[in-house]
């Protein structure tokens, strides 16, 4: 999937594709950038530090090994092609779950929504009727714009034991109608 993106380079485009193991360090870099540039507006420095502490390539290798599927957006926000963000789909405790992160310079350009659509399609293909997220305060507006409803507020426990405020959200999914043999 490709889309025009105002504000990127003169080529003004990005591509969304399935991530590979060779992408894990670039995913980590985009994740860290997102937390530092977007998340830091909503959370205290100690929370941001703890949130970032385990964001390294091996985190995604482990998740991929457990069956989590990642999609990345690749584009050129500056003078080089890089991973602008990622989304994921996984099944955790019988719930289909997602996450979407974009770099600060890629926010509000449609990249996150394009990434989410890939994760949503994976969830639907896996039989999901809904998809859930523990949204950071920075991401609530994004998820609402992509059809999620708030189902509660609470805290996400970081690896350090520190709590991070979050909003529990769910989107009901509609499977595409299948064509009958008579059509």
Q: What is the pLDDT of residues 121-140, one digit of tens each?
A: 999 999 999 999 999 999 99
Write down the pTM of the prediction.
0.86
Confidence band of 20 (pLDDT split at 50, 70, 90)? very high
Query: Are 168 and 132 spatial neighbours (Cβ–Cβ below 8 Å)?
Result: yes
Beta strands in 115-157 (DSSP E): 130-136, 149-157
Name the more confident of 173 and 1.
Answer: 173
Average pLDDT of span 5-9? 41
Edge-to-edge strand list for the sheet holding 130-136: 2-4, 13-18, 69-75, 82-92, 95-102, 130-136, 163-172, 149-157
Cβ-based neighbour number of residue 161 at 10 Å: 7
Domains observed in the chain = 2-128 (3.40.630.30)
Average pLDDT of span 111-122? 96
CB under 8 Å to 162, separation ≥6 — which residues?
46, 47, 50
């Amino acid at each position: 999937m490709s889309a025009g993106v105002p504000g990127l380079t003169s080529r003004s485009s990005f591509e969304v594709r399935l991530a590979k193991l060779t992408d894990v360090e670039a995913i980590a870099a985009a994740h860290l950038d997102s937390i530092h540039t977007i998340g830091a507006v909503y959370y205290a420095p100690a929370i941001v530090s703890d949130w970032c502490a385990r964001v390294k390539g091996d985190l995604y290798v482990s998740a991929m090994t457990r069956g989590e599927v990642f999609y990345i957006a690749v584009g050129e926000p500056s003078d080089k092609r890089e991973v602008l963000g990622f989304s994921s789909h996984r099944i955790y405790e019988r719930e289909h779950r997602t996450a979407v992160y974009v770099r600060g310079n890629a926010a509000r350009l449609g990249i996150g929504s394009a990434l989410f659509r890939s994760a949503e399609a994976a969830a639907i293909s896996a039989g999901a009727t809904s998809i859930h997220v523990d949204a950071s305060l920075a991401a609530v507006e994004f998820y609402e714009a992509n059809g999620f409803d708030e189902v509660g507020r609470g805290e996400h426990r970081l690896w350090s034991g520190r709590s991070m405020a979050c909003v529990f959200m769910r989107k009901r999914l509609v499977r595409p109608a299948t064509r009958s043999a008579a059509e």
